[in-house]
Structure 1
Amino acid sequence: MAIIWLIIIGAAAGFIATRIMDMELGLPQTIAVGVIGAIIGGALLRLVLAALGWGAGLVGAIIGALLLLWGYKVFLEGRR
């Protein structure tokens, strides 16, 4: 079923891409362009999201550490 879905999405993506680039291709070539483009685009998107995920994780860790230190200073050091 995933292959059929990939072909359908590939046909639509290939059609749109060939119209944007003003190219006239046959149906098999249009589908191939869309399917291969989906594979390339999906891989690139996963890399970008992974990189953003790592960056977001680092920012979140820093913010969490700052909140922990703030809480320590306010609540524990203030009691001394």
Structure 2
Amino acid sequence: MAVIGLIIIGAAAGFIATRLMGWETDLITTIAIGVFGALLGGLVMRFLTTITGMAGGFVGAVLGAMAVIWLWKTYGSGRR
């Protein structure tokens, strides 16, 4: 059940992050960005703050997804 929740939160976070960063992607890439961003953002938020609950996790997921997009644009094959 936690995996399904991660995919749902990841999809929402990936969608928001890709739109905030002006990056158009397909559904699978958006979900992947969100899930990886949720993992990265969750770890960072856990170390940096004591925010608890779903709101803190969602903020961390969006920030993490934005970080993944930035890393991909900077160092990945998404360079323009």
Length-normalised TM-score, structure 2: 0.60
Q: Equivalent residue for 2:17?
A: 17
Gaps of 5+ in 2: 51-80
Q: Equivalent residue for 1:37?
A: 37
Q: Equivalent residue for 1:3?
A: 3
Letter in 2 for 1:41: G
1:42 Cα deviation after fit: 0.4
1:13 Cα deviation after fit: 0.3
Alignment size in residue pairs? 50
Gaps of 5+ in 1: 51-80
**3-state SS of 2:25 partner:** coil
**3-state SS of 2:14 partner:** helix
Query: Relative to total residues, which structure has the larger helix share, 1 or 2?
Result: 1
Q: Whole-Å Cα distance in 2 between the matches of residues 21 and 29 of structure 1?
A: 14
**3-state SS of 1:7 partner:** helix
1:36 Cα deviation after fit: 0.3
1:43 Cα deviation after fit: 0.3
Q: Whole-Å Cα distance in 2 between the matches of residues 49 and 13 of structure 1?
A: 19
Structure 1 residue ranges (4+ consecutive) displaced by more than 4 angstroms after TM superposition = none
1:46 Cα deviation after fit: 0.9
Larger radius of gyration: 1
Length-normalised TM-score, structure 1: 0.60
Q: CA RMSD in A?
A: 1.0
1:49 Cα deviation after fit: 2.7
